[in-house]
Amino acid sequence: MTQTVLILGGSGRIGSSVALDLLQHTEANLRIGGRNETVGQMVCDRLGSRCQFYPVDLEETTALQPAIAGVDLVIHCAGPFHYRDTQVLQTCIANGVNYVDVSDHPSFTRKVRECGPQAQAAGITAIVNTGIFPGISNSLVRQDVEQLDTADSIHLSYVVGGSGGAGVTVMRTTFLGLQKPFSAWIDGTWQTVQPYSDREIIEFPAPYGRSGVYWFDMPETFTLPQTFPVKTVVTKFGTVPDFYNYLTWSVARWWHPWLLRQPAVIEFLSQVSHFMTDVSDRFSGVGVAICSDVVGQKDGQPRRSRSTLVHPNTAIAAGMGTGSVAQLLLSGQLHHPGVWVVEEALSTELFRQTLGDRHLTVQQELSTPDAPIVDSHS
């Protein structure tokens, strides 16, 4: 019997990338859920006959039940997740339907994780934060931790070219992340960190090379220390061209916090940034590079395990990350009732298997921790 997947926000750039991955790696039929029928139908026409548009507005609570009833899996791609509640997951639990999302905001991750006991009792598996970062990045950390006997610190960095091939929603997520200080796990204690602070230069693979990254509030900041017994977790993000970093830093540094809490201001910044990247994407590209750096002990000696991954289109890479998890759930290879982040639920073996199917290459090396991979404030 053919399985059916509902992709909420399926007509957006991330949602349609997830749909494309599922069409390539599963036999499932897809419901492309969204508010705009014209746009949704255009996406379905482009993707092919296995896709059907399904009108659904998350603001209308009564619309979710008929949308979710009878499907085999729901994939939630309708951000920004800063504004979302657990309604989609709760409806999945009530209907016994597995759930995946591409959420990237800490507040949402905390809310859905509280639904773990309900999901477990209902026998459904819910995997959150499954895109590229968070998502594939978390699995890179897991495989690095597993290379060592004990891990002491995790340094996880990302750099994105321009818009990353994503829509204005991702711009909103970036500026929403500047609204307030956040807690980070440093030297065994939770310490307050200012967003987009403490610039470092990371040596990423080509074509990015030495690129600036800054502290950024993301789910990995608290899920990684909850999953792995380490003393420090650093999560940093940056963009190319570098002048976007300085613009974002100036907003975080000089704009009054009250302004950044105003939806109209966030929307203005997001639209202006999106317009700028429409121009700069032509020469910066829209790719992504990830660097996971884990330091600890192996065979009684200090060791560093470092993994890197590069993809020319961030949105497509996010679709691969989410599509991989969805594929495993549909095939029954991943069954873990409850609510989990990727690094908790996805084994390194399955991670490598699905990446290989998608021709994604991870470079991993084990070395002594003497040679620095970062230079501060360069």
| Distance from C-alpha of 224 to C-alpha of 266, rounded to nearest angstrom | 28
Q: Name the pLDDT band for 378 (thresholds 50, 70, 90).
A: very low
Residue 375 has pLDDT above 70, yes or no: no
Confidence (pLDDT) at 201: 96
* Percent of the chain scoring above 90 in pLDDT: 76
Nearest one of 365, 235, 348 to 304, comparing CA atoms: 365
Q: What pLDDT was estimated at residue 270?
A: 85
What is the pLDDT at residue 167?
A: 66
Residue 373: band (very low, low, confident or very high) from pLDDT cuts 50, 70, 90: low
Instruction: Report pLDDT for 252.
Output: 87
User: What residues form DSSP beta bridges with 161?
Assistant: 240
Q: Are strands 98-101 and 125-128 parallel, antiparallel or unpaired?
A: parallel
Which tens digit of pLDDT belongs to each residue from 91-137? 999 999 999 999 999 999 999 999 999 999 999 999 999 999 999 99
Q: Given a cut of 60, is residue 374 above it in pLDDT?
A: no
> What's the pLDDT score for residue 276?
85
pLDDT band at 162 (very low <50, low <70, confident <90, very high): confident
Per-residue confidence (pLDDT) for residue 49, from 0 to 100: 95
Q: Is the pLDDT of residue 377 over 70?
A: no
pLDDT at 372: 54
Whether the per-residue pLDDT at 257 is higher than 80: the answer is yes
Residues near 272 by Cβ (< 8 Å), separated by ≥ 6?
none
Tell me if 82 sits within 8 A of 21, measured CB to CB: no
Q: Give the confidence band of 283 by pLDDT, cuts at 50, 70, 90.
A: confident
Higher pLDDT, 185 or 176: 185
State yes or no: pLDDT of 362 exceeds 70.
yes
Please compute the mean of the pLDDT values over residues 289-314 and round it to a whole number: 96
Helix (H) or strand (E) holding 112, with range, is: helix 106-113
Q: Which pLDDT score is estimated for 376?
A: 47
pLDDT band at 172 (very low <50, low <70, confident <90, very high): confident
Mean pLDDT over all residues of the chain? 93
* pLDDT tens for each residue of 8-53: 999 999 999 999 999 999 999 999 999 999 999 999 999 999 999 9
Q: Do 93 and 122 form a contact (C-beta atoms < 8 A)?
A: yes
Of the candidates 59, 12, 13, 55, the residue with the CA atom closest to the CA atom of residue 31: 55
CA distance 157 to 293: 9
Q: What are the Cα distances from residue 3, in Å, to 73, 89, 330?
A: 8, 19, 8
**257 vs 2, which has greater pLDDT?**
2
Strand partners, 184: 191
In the predicted model, is pLDDT for residue 60 greater than 90? no
Per-residue pLDDT at 51: 97
From residue 242, give the alpha-carbon distance in Å to each of 64, 191, 215, 217, 239: 42, 28, 15, 20, 6
Over the stretch 222-234, which tens digit does the pLDDT of each residue have? 999 999 999 999 9
Tell me what the mean pLDDT of segment 59-74 comes to: 91
Angle between helix 263-284 and 243-254 (nearest 10): 170
Which domains are assigned to the chain? 4-128+315-346 (3.40.50.720), 136-312+360-376 (3.30.360.10)
